Amino acid sequence: MIRWSDALAECQRSGQPHVLVSVISTEGSVPRNPGSKMLVTDNALIDTLGGGNLEWHALEYARQLLSERKNAQRLQKFPLAAVLGQCCGGNASLLFECFYHVSHSLWLFGAGHVGQALSKILQDLPLRLHWVDSRPEQFPAQLATDIIKHHPTDPTEVFSQINTNDSLLIMTHSHDQDYRLCEAALTQQHQGFIGLIGSDTKAARFRHRLRHAGFSSGEIGRIGCPVGVTGLGGKRPMEVAVSIAARVIQHYRSHQPEEGIHQGLSTAEQTELNTQLQETHNDTE
């Protein structure tokens, strides 16, 4: 049987929405002890809280959280006899941690010198990195396992897979490809970060072409060019990559929800959870 910890690692890596259900405290006779966990996705249940009505109701509640399509934490009490009809008759408090938006996806277009330098930084950030280039031979021979590689004949083909809130970095070997990618992003009404590598002159030319293509100034203004943090200087590929990576970090840090296990819990629930965790710790000493 697959353990919840293995499934959790895979969900975190792939970005699949999931709920981790933990037994926080118990009273009386219950199927599993505090610390027991199971993982719930839209189509799977991994590990167990002992089966029976407790697990069934926990599964239903976890799927309800997934249907709300947002990160959340909830503390729920389950009286096994009074509500669930289980003969063991105890009580269990369960913590539900819903990870719907696990990490941010970034699409890097271009595997040239800057793209390759940038990939070395981005692969260590909390991002799902999609790397796109029409030239498969441009990708390094050794690629980190969590980088998703795409080499379509036409890079704009991948827009069918791109969520409108994902981040885009456009830096291909061709100005024509760069322009068509910008046009595709605006046609998609892309709402995420769009960064285009280039000079002020390139930015002006692209804005002129996009206006003639019928896009408004507001739409065109969504494209950041030059991209990167201003004032850092340096023209070496890694220097440029560091500047761009800093801008990416600024973006995702400003758009991510508060971190922490207690997000979504009321003050009373936080206090109760801390108390139960402390009591469980004392019981195991």
Q: Which residue has the tokens 């959340």?
A: 72
- What pLDDT shows up at residue 84? 46
- What pLDDT shows up at residue 127? 85
Give the tens place of pLDDT for each residue, 114-161. Answer: 999 999 999 888 888 999 999 999 999 888 877 999 999 999 999 998
Q: In the chain, pLDDT over 90 holds for what percent of residues?
A: 55
Lowest mean pLDDT among 179-183, 232-236, 252-256: 252-256
Give the tens place of pLDDT for each residue, 246-260. Answer: 999 998 888 665 444
Residue range 187-192: mean pLDDT, rounded: 93
Give the tens place of pLDDT for each residue, 42-81. Answer: 999 999 988 788 889 999 999 999 998 788 899 998 887 6
Which DSSP symbol is given to 259?
P
**b/e burial code for range 213-235 (CB count within 10 A of at least 16 → b):** eebeeebbebbbbbbbeeeeeee
Local confidence band at 236 (pLDDT 50, 70, 90 cut-offs):
very high
Would you list the DSSP string of 182-229?
HHHHHHTT--S-EEE---HHHHHHHHHHHHHTT--HHHHTTEESS-S-
Which one, of 70, 66, 76, 75, lies nearest residue 39 by Cα? 66
Q: What is the mean pLDDT of the chain?
A: 86
Q: What does the alpha-carbon distance between residue 45 and residue 47 come to, in Å, rounded to a whole number?
A: 7
> Residues near 29 by Cβ (< 8 Å), separated by ≥ 6?
80, 88, 89, 90
Considering the segment(s) 104-255 as one domain, its CATH architecture is 3-Layer(aba) Sandwich (3.40)
Per domain, the residue ranges of the chain are 4-102, 104-255
Q: What does the alpha-carbon distance between residue 239 and residue 35 come to, in Å, rounded to a whole number?
A: 46
Q: Which residue has the tokens 């108390």?
A: 275
Local confidence band at 279 (pLDDT 50, 70, 90 cut-offs):
low
- What pLDDT shows up at residue 128? 86
Q: What does the alpha-carbon distance between residue 55 and residue 202 come to, in Å, rounded to a whole number?
A: 59
- What pLDDT shows up at residue 277? 64
Is the distance from CB of 197 to CB of 225 less than 8 angstroms? yes
Local confidence band at 206 (pLDDT 50, 70, 90 cut-offs):
very high
Task: Using only the alpha carbons of the chain, give its radius of gyration.
Answer: 24
Q: Would you call the peptide bond into 226 cis, given omega within 30 degrees of 0 as the criterion?
A: yes
Residue range 171-185: mean pLDDT, rounded: 97
